[in-house]
Structure 1
Amino acid sequence: MSFFERVATLATMVLGTALIGVSTPGLASQLDQNLNVPLSVTVPETTVLAAAPAETMPVPIAQPAIVQRQDAEDFDSLSEAVAAQNAPDAVSDDLTCLASAIYFESKGEPLPGQLAVAEVIINRSKSGRFAKSVCAVVTQAGQFSFVRGGRIPAIASNANYRTALAVAQVALRDQWDSPAPQALYFHARRVSPGWRKTKVASIGNHIFYR
């Protein structure tokens, strides 16, 4: 490399250094300006979605109505409950025995008295102190005078028996509260057995005990 070429190269390097020295403060200033931006940054407002109009909201699926069974129906009176009973297509043994006991022990008594007799028999079957079924309670020896030799006499179909059958249905379905709660015994007013039992009700011509 000649002397002149070396001088030219040296001049170019000096000039480049000078330019860098001149431009550096500008770059630093620019960086300084960028770094001095306030720290608090404006956050864009969150867009609040408007509530959907009522008519666009999902509608709950309609649930099927609960259909009450007849034995869950509410009645305003015992007489209404008795009148609502239909003659069953098939009469079970328990229904037959219970209706027969109501008929022989309390036909002609007010409906509460007939129901109380039915409840005594049902209570006995659940007590553990008597036989375990309605028919076994009714035919148990020494309990009901109308039973002869463990058998229930035949009954002709008449208004009193139809009422007894309806009362028995109400009792077995538990459609009306017993007017003699927890009663296990009863007797006619005309007799005085001298029982040392708790009296729970006096209905018509019968007195009930537990």
Structure 2
Amino acid sequence: MLKMVRAASVVAISCTLASAVLTADAGFAFGNDQSAALSASAIVVDAAQIASDQENVDRLKSGEVTTSLTQDGDIVFIPTDREQSKPEGAESDSEITNPVSSLAELVSMQDVREPLNAEERCLASAVYFESKGESLAGQLAVARVVIARSQSGRFPSTLCGVVYQKSQFSFVRGGGMPPISTGSAHWRNAVAISRIALNDSWKSPVEGALFFHARHVSPGWRLTRIGSIDNHIFYR
């Protein structure tokens, strides 16, 4: 029954608008002598009101407003709960977001208790051994290098393949790694950073880098230097 009343309201309002528009255009449809015969008080055209009513009809169709009748028979448009609850200035529900303010905050939001698959563990291990004593930005930069290598076509296509590639990472010796203190804060940070890097949740300051080395060495690479973070210098 409610749908029938609502549909009838839409039709009635649309017909009223159509009638108003036809009346407003009458003076242009007739000749000047005929339009002059009409009393100035007989037709009152409010273009702004017509436009407002048409907008309300469109909102009624979309469910943003409902209608109610006053005792005088006037139609009143009432915003629905969905329309009333929308924050001022928000154009759509998809624009309502709660972005984090820092990389540290994003790290604290990661659930590091979830088990790691082999690829995630390889990436977290690289972050742990290469940059566990550095800033979160420096750790993220290392993680993004490993990921970028796996996607470049110039290195192995898996994260573990990149990490265990011969003569690439000094902590890999004899095809293995040293033991990891998985209960430490350093490991928890490495896991969190790895997940952020894999999800592309935060950009690295040296995004696109494929190579890095410690500041205390000078390999003489003929590469484009992107920048430096903490103890590492990054290139592409």
Into which bin does the TM-score normalised by the smaller protein fall?
Answer: 0.5 to 0.7
Q: How does 1:20-31 map to 2 (within 5 A)?
A: none
1:123 equivalent to 2:148? Answer: yes
- Following the alignment from structure 1 to structure 2, what is the Cα–Cα distance between the partners of residues 47 and 193? 85
Q: Does 1:195 align with 2:221?
A: yes
Q: Mind listing any 5+ residue stretches in structure 1 that lack a counterpart? A: 1-39
What is the correspondence of 1:11-22 to structure 2 with a 5 Å cutoff? none
- In 2, are the aligned partners of 1:85 and 1:166 still within 8 Å (CA)? yes
Distance in 2 (CA, whole Å) between partners of 1:73 and 1:117 is 27
- The residue type equivalent to 1:100 in the other structure is S
**Cα separation, 2, equivalents of 1:85 and 1:124:** 24
Q: For the residues of structure 1 that align with 2:108 and 2:200, how far apart are their CA atoms?
A: 15
* Partners of 1:74 and 1:175 within 8 A in 2: no
The runs of 4+ residues in structure 1 deviating greater than 4 Å are 40-48, 50-55, 58-61, 63-68
1:89 maps to a residue whose letter is E
Partner of 1:62: 82
Q: CA deviation at 1:163?
A: 1.0
Deviation at residue 151 of structure 1 after TM alignment: 3.1
Find 2:187's aligned residue among 134, 156, 161: 161
Residue 200 of structure 1 deviates from its aligned partner by 0.6
Tell me what 1:7 maps to: none
What's 1:105 paired with? Answer: 130
Query: Displacement of 1:92 after TM fit?
Result: 2.1
Displacement of 1:100 in angstroms is 0.2
Secondary structure class of the residue paired with 1:56: strand
Alpha-carbon distance between aligned partners in 2 of 1:55 and 1:81, rounded to the nearest angstrom: 50
Task: Determine which structure has greater relative contact order: mean sequence separation of CA pairs < 8 Å that are 6+ residues apart, divided by chain length.
Answer: 1
Return the alpha-carbon distance in structure 1 between the equivalents of residues 75 and 152 of structure 2: 60
Q: Deviations over 1:49-99 (max 9, x none)?
A: x9778973374683895599xxx9622111111122112422122211111
The worse-fitting range, judged by mean Cα deviation, of 140-149 and 157-166 is 140-149
Compute the TM-score of the two structures, normalised by the length of structure 2: 0.60
CA contact (8 A) 1:73 1:175 kept: no
Offset of residue 104 of structure 1? 0.7
Offset at residue 188 of structure 1 (A): 0.6
Partner of 2:212: 186
C-alpha displacement of 1:149: 3.4
CA distance in 2, matches of 1:47, 1:191: 86
The equivalent residue for 2:103 is 78
Following the alignment from structure 1 to structure 2, what is the Cα–Cα distance between the partners of residues 85 and 133? 23
The correspondence for 2:166, drawn from 138, 141, 151, is 141
In structure 2, runs of 5+ residues without a counterpart are 1-33, 54-69, 84-91
Percent identity at matched positions?
47
Taking the aligned partners of 2:199 and 2:95, their CA distance within structure 1 comes to 17
Question: Aligned partners of 1:161 and 1:91: how far apart in 2?
Answer: 12
